[in-house]
Amino acid sequence: MKIVLQRVSQASVTIDNKVVADIQKGLLVLVGIEDLDNQEDINWLASKTVNIRIFGDENDVMNLSVKDTDGDVIVVSQFTLHAATKKGNRPSYIKASKPEIAIPLYENFVLQLEKELGKKVQTGVFGADMKVLLLNDGPVTIVIDSKNRE
């Protein structure tokens, strides 16, 4: 499972000209799921997402988490995080899970985030054509792969 965390001042997701998610200060989390992902990946990434210290404290040092700042979270599914680009110019998405595998894992990730964060997490709609608008704060963008725990 791969995620991209983006610290945002605001973010929203629009589908068919309707805003389905909208936050101010917090995290926009893009999630890519592959067939090898499991509950251990979900638990580890949810904990990492909620507790990673990328928000400024009173001295403007990145010492606080989204949980510490009572920030909000939007989660958006993004199969393109598993793009293989080694050969040619057309990415292959063969590693990305099909919806029947990915949707339950995605939903479970959102539930685990809510449990860890202690409040509702907003989402896009899995597989939909979404317009994601964000104001990246910093900018701060971090890529985390549960299969490469550094």
Question: Per-residue pLDDT tens for 56-96?
Answer: 999 999 999 999 999 999 999 999 999 989 889 999 998 89
**Of 149 and 111, the one with more pLDDT:** 111
- Model pLDDT for residues 7-43, shown as the tens digit of each residue: 999 999 999 999 999 999 999 999 999 999 999 999 9
Burial code (b: 16+ CB inside 10 Å, e: under 16) for 65-103 equals: bbbeeebbbbbbbbbebbeeeeeeeeeeeebbbeeeebe
**pLDDT for 150:** 72
Nearest to 134 by CA among 51, 5, 12: 12
- In order of their start, the domains of the chain are 2-145 (3.50.80.10)
Active site residues: 78-80
